[in-house]
Amino acid sequence: MKSNAMILAAHGSRLKSSNEEVAQLAAKLSQQLKQRFAQVEPAFLELSPPSIEDAIDNCVAAGHQQITVVPYFLAAGRHVKDDVPAIIAQAKQKYPDVDIELTQHLGLSTGLVDAVTGLLDSES
Amino acid sequence: MKSNAMILAAHGSRLKSSNEEVAQLAAKLSQQLKQRFAQVEPAFLELSPPSIEDAIDNCVAAGHQQITVVPYFLAAGRHVKDDVPAIIAQAKQKYPDVDIELTQHLGLSTGLVDAVTGLLDSES
């Protein structure tokens, strides 16, 4: 069986707390999906390390043969349409023997209906 | 029973397709939550009509006595911490007889784990 990793690829923020929210979600995903992924890492397009490129390098160095990159973006703007796919295309050239997959972005997940519904009894 | 409305308050984008994704999610929520909310409307902080203020005005004009505003943001940056709460505070002053509630932002929903997991077998 191939060793698999997931990268949760977020925009990144100047606010440390915001990047930590992404890291916390990656940790939860790691726990929930441990039978599917040996490793789940947060990564950021801008403004915070690790970059998506570095996260891919790290996953390859850790011996994973399959890497699934999930764009953690609500809107299909330039980042989702151009920037993240360009990074993945370069990584595929750099690592032709590694299976690097890019999923749809979060905004297209059918699970968002339930994610919003789950907020209804919270207070800001 | 009070008549309730929900406003899905997103950032807004220059890309029409991105704003349409928010409107489509609002339509899905309207369908799923029709026993709880008589109306679910998309609204945008910037870059696209309707504004959050206008959406609140419209919900009040439609006769809703309770309005739940859900910040459709992944990160708790300035928009979530300052801008949206300031709009809600002004709306409460404008409509003291309407119950206007602000939930936590999407990034804090426990449902995000499942929303990300739901993307895993998709391809971008």
Residue ranges and CATH numbers for the domains of chain B are: 4-117 (3.40.50.1400)
CB contact under 8 A, A111 and B111: yes
Find the range with the poorest average confidence among A12-21, A104-113, B109-118.
Answer: A12-21
- Least CB-CB distance to A124: which of B33, B74, B102? B102
Eight-state DSSP code of residue A77: S
| Mean pLDDT on B58-65 | 96
Alpha carbon separation from A120 to A18, A53, B23, B86 (Å, rounded): 21, 37, 18, 20
ipTM confidence score: 0.91
The beta-strand segments (E) located in B26-91 are 39-44, 66-71
Task: Say if residues B55 and B64 touch (Cβ distance below 8 Å).
Answer: no
Counted across chains A and B, CB pairs separated by less than 8 A come out at: 152
Using alpha carbons, select from A55, A57, A44, A47 the residue that is nearest to residue A95.
A57
Tell me what the pLDDT averaged over chain B comes to.
94
Which residues of chain A neighbour B25 with C-beta distances below 8 Å?
Answer: 112-113, 116
Active site amino acids of A: 11
Interval A77-117: pLDDT, tens: 889 999 999 999 999 999 999 999 999 999 999 999 999 99
Tell me what the pLDDT averaged over chain A comes to.
94
pLDDT at residue A122 is higher than 80:
no
The structure tokens 């890019």 sit at A102
Which residues of chain A neighbour B21 with C-beta distances below 8 Å?
Answer: 74-76, 107-108
Distance CA A5, CA A40 (A): 6
Determine the pLDDT at residue B76: 84
What are the tokens at B73? 């943001």
